[in-house]
Amino acid sequence: MKFLLVEDNLELANAITSRMRLDGHVVEHAENLADATAFTLTSEFDLILLDIMLPDGDGRTFLKEHRASRLDTPVIILTARSQVSDRIGSLDLGADDYITKPFDHAELGARCRAVLRRKAGTSQSVIEVGGIVFDAVAGKMAVRGKPVTLRNRELRLLELLLNARGQVFSKQKLSDRLFSYDEDVSENAIEVYIGRLRKHLEPSDLSITTLRGLGYRLDHDA
């Protein structure tokens, strides 16, 4: 997916950008409102992540202008405030959701998916490979034309593996991505999800290979 990140703190912007690129997203960074406006006029984005306190104005002003110019790119606000009135204010101005800094990238991902699903936007992230059609945003998968219902964690696991086909993921790495950091998860938990995915993928040309002591890998058998 293609994101526009509007954030004046360079360190934070770098951190977010590199974290999001790990998930295979394209991220453009604007430091101020003027740059952000220029970006929205020249290219299309799936989602805008908008900071509220910016050097050349309030992010909410941008939001208002953005909505006034009839661009319906969904906007998620990154706020450092936790005051309720502030949250309500930004939602009233047409933001689709907000997330409080510091945030869990898994939560950001979940919110992005929820917003895009609500907007029923045309997803550019449909993957077609080895007999499956996978739409991460809509949370839908069809194997050999037959729709399959995936649970959220199965979906995220599949997305992770599909985006890095042929790459080996250790159990720990996978559980770090699937479970939040405050959950006490046994390493066996990941085996349950791998097992379920294998079942879903059986009719397709894709398979998950176990590499003893190393982890798992998604392979295209054809």
Partner 1 sequence: MTHSLSISGSLRNRLVLTLTGGAAVLALVLFFAIRNYTTQIAQQGQDSILNAAVTSILDAASIRDNIIEVDIPYASFSMLSTQSDDLVFYAIYQDDTFLSGYPELPLTNVTGRASIFQTALYRGETVRLVTAGRVLIGTQKRTQIRVVLAQSQGELADTLRQISRTAALFGAAFFALLVALSYWATSTTIGQLKRLTTSVTRRGPQDLRPFVKPVPTEMAPLVTSLNSLMGRLDHSLSQSEDFIAEAAHRVRTPLATVRSYAEVTLQRVDKEENRQSLRAMIRAIDESSRAAGQLLDHAMITLRSDHLERQDIDLVTLVHEIVLRLTPIAEMKDLELCLHGDSNVAYSGDPVLIQNAVRNLIDNAIKYAPSEGRVDIAISASPRIGISVCDSGHGFPSAEVDTLAVRFKRGTNADGTVGSGLGLTIAIDVAKAHGGDLVLSNRPEGGACALLLL
Binding stretches for partner 1 (CB under 8 A): 9, 11-12, 15-16, 18-19, 22, 53, 78, 80-86, 97, 100-107, 110-111, 113-114, 151-153, 170, 172-173, 176, 180-184
CB-count exposure of residue 198 (10 Å: 0-12, 13-18, 19+): middle
Which of 68/84 has CB closer to partner 1? 84
d(CA 62, CA 172): 41
123 versus 207: smaller Cβ distance to partner 1: 123
Q: How far is CA 86 from the centre of its chain?
A: 24
Enumerate long-range contacts of 209-213, CB under 8 Å, 24 or more apart.
Answer: 211/168
Between 52 and 143, whose beta carbon lies closer to partner 1? 52
Q: How far apart are the first and last CA of the chain?
A: 27
Catalogue the long-range contacts made by 95-102 (C-beta closer than 8 Å, 24 or more residues apart).
95/50, 95/63, 101/12
Nearest residue (CB) to partner 1, 42 versus 83: 83
